[in-house]
Amino acid sequence: MKAINERTKKSGADVTPLLDRIDRAILKTLQRDASISNVALAEKVRLSPPACLRRVERLKEAGVIKGVVALLNGDVLDAGMVVLIGVVLDRSTPDSFAQFEAAAQKVSGCMEFHVVTGEFDYFMLLRTRDSQSFNRLHAEQLLYLPGVRQIRSFMGLRQVVSTTQLPL
């Protein structure tokens, strides 16, 4: 792990870290339950608690672990409807992309925002309460985004898979 930090510091570039079996076991466990105590985590990965804590801290320092969050239930918090939005811009210039991106990041309920290839320039994933609240958001915010030629929205009917766990 020290080599990871040294390479990252020297190059300033993102480096795919060389993770050993124990690092991967730590990451898999933390992805399932980040609230696990260090003692319980150490037991699961068969390390002493101090050695386990050092590894977790190194993974954080190397940028492998970006943060620890609580995953909230959108259905309980009036954000149960998922809407995917494909956006096509009028022009493909750096300035038009920058203006759109700055404005689109402020859209209420925007959970993800991606530049994509293919038919659309961007895809946004929004969460909102229901179709009426999405209709309001569309009329009050989406229609006013700069440089937009076309917006196509796709309302999720049923979530089949949703995970925050990366394959390791």
- Topology (CATH level 3) of domain 2-61: Arc Repressor Mutant, subunit A (1.10.10)
- Give the span between the Cα atoms of 148 and 159, in whole angstroms: 28
DSSP 8-state assignment for residue 34: T
pLDDT more than 70, % of the chain: 90
pLDDT at residue 18, rounded to an integer: 85
The pLDDT confidence band at residue 31, using thresholds 50, 70 and 90, is: very high
Half-sphere exposure of 44 (CA within 13 A, CB side): 17
Q: Classify 7 as helix, strand or coil.
A: helix
Residue 21 in this model has a pLDDT that exceeds 90: yes
Q: What is the mean pLDDT of the chain?
A: 91
| pTM metric for this prediction | 0.78
Residue in the structure block whose two tokens are 């699961």 = 44
At 7, the pLDDT band (50, 70, 90 cuts) reads: very low
Average pLDDT over residues 25-51: 97
Q: What sign does the dihedral 95-100-101-106 (CA atoms) show? A: positive
The token pair at 48 is 């002493």
13 pLDDT higher than 60: no
- Is 150 a residue whose pLDDT tops 50? yes
Average pLDDT over residues 149-159: 95
Q: 81-155 domain in CATH 3.30.70.920?
A: yes
pLDDT of residue 123: 97
Domain residue spans of the chain: 2-61, 81-155
Terminal alpha carbon distance of the chain: 17
Query: What is the enclosing helix (H) or strand (E) of 90?
Result: none
Q: pLDDT value at position 43?
A: 98
**Count of Cβ atoms closer than 10 Å to residue 43 Cβ:** 14
How wide is the angle at C-alpha 149 spanned by C-alphas 144 and 155, nearest 5°? 75
